[in-house]
Amino acid sequence: MSGYWAGILTILAINIIFAYAIFLPVASGQLNLGGAGFQATGAYAAAYIATQSGAGTLVTISSGAFIAGMLGWLMAYPMLRTIGVYLVLATFAFAEVVSGIVLNSQMLGGPTGMTVPNFIDWYVPGVAAIIVAIGIFYLMSTRFGLNMRACHDDDVVTDLMGVNVRSVKVVAFALGAALAGFAGALYAHAFNYVEIQTFGAMVSIYVLLYVLLGGTQTPWGPMVGATFFTILPEAIRPVLPLIKKGVIAVFGPVVPSTPPDDSWRFVILGLCTIIMMALRPEGLITSQMIARLRLRREKPLKAGGSPT
């Protein structure tokens, strides 16, 4: 496999894990805009441990996920006292605090970043993404997953039914933070370098878009959303010259003609996002869609009788 496609598959796998990290709190009724902060925590924790102790990849990646999860558990208690837009601002502020700490820490390399030993190839994040996806599907089918859905739909009624809403939200937030740290640790070892600029505010916004536009009603949503928005910019790269010629043909050469650059990809990505939000505000994948697909698959079995 070429290095280009290995890099794309690595980013795709990491984005899927990261999307599930944000999906868990969203599924329990919490909008988390601080995912980049937890991802940076996992990446820098893995990088620092690998550099200072020379520990193996399994130890450093597990440590990065654990540290991010513990930080998420500690931060969940004060953050979850807020709701709505205030929770969004609180999580966003947390990510900015993490960024500021790293930028002013010489121990973590400051703005220049850190090199990371112990390279992992693309199949390691790929296998990890498959395992995480299976785990999320199983989690959402358990009683805890049902409690998360109930908290998302109506936390007051859920509390009256005897569910500890606060505990459910704290655990969901902490698990999401651990997964974000896991994604960050994988990134650190896959690219052998970390710098805090990689984990900026736009990363938190993008991954939240993956989840919201993919759909929050089923675990299929984050996977499809992350896959679509990771592959789309690369898929439209070859057609950029044709797109630019079409725009010039319609609107005329507003500015001197220049070769198309990567900024056009994100213009197209933004337009696709607006169209999807207008046409599919509930996301690409919904629980009703999944139910219809299951019904269609079951109809031939019912028509032919039960298998013997």
What pLDDT, on a 0 to 100 scale, did the predictor assign at position 283?
81
Q: Which of 146, 170, 160, 128 is nearest to 12 (CA)?
A: 128
Beta carbons of 95 and 34 less than 8 angstroms apart: yes
CB within 8 A of 279, min separation 6: which ones?
A: none
Segments in the chain forming alpha helices (H): 3-27, 35-53, 57-79, 85-103, 123-140, 143-153, 155-160, 165-191, 201-214, 220-235, 240-251, 263-279, 287-304
In whole angstroms, what separates CA 5 from the centre of its chain?
A: 20
In whole angstroms, what separates CA 4 from the centre of its chain?
A: 21
Q: What are the residues facing 194 on neighbouring strands? A: 114
- pLDDT of the chain along its 308 residues, tens only? 778 888 899 999 999 999 999 999 999 988 889 999 999 999 999 999 999 988 899 999 999 999 999 999 999 988 888 888 888 899 999 999 999 999 999 899 888 999 999 899 999 999 999 999 999 999 999 999 999 999 988 888 998 888 999 999 999 999 999 999 999 999 999 999 999 999 988 899 889 888 988 888 889 999 999 998 888 877 777 776 776 677 677 766 655 555 555 566 667 677 877 887 788 777 888 877 877 877 776 666 555 555 44
What pLDDT, on a 0 to 100 scale, did the predictor assign at position 308?
43
CB within 8 A of 294, min separation 6: which ones?
A: none
Structural domain boundaries of the chain?
3-207, 236-304
What pLDDT, on a 0 to 100 scale, did the predictor assign at position 257?
52
DSSP secondary structure letter of residue 281: T
Written as six digits, the tokens of 159 are: 């509390």
pTM of the shown model: 0.87
CB within 8 A of 210, min separation 6: which ones?
A: 15, 18, 19, 22, 222, 225, 226, 229
Side chain identity at residue 238, one-letter code: P
What pLDDT, on a 0 to 100 scale, did the predictor assign at position 275?
84
Q: Which of 50, 18, 6 is nearest to 184 (CA)?
A: 18
Q: Which of 201, 210, 219, 202 is nearest to 276 (CA)?
A: 210
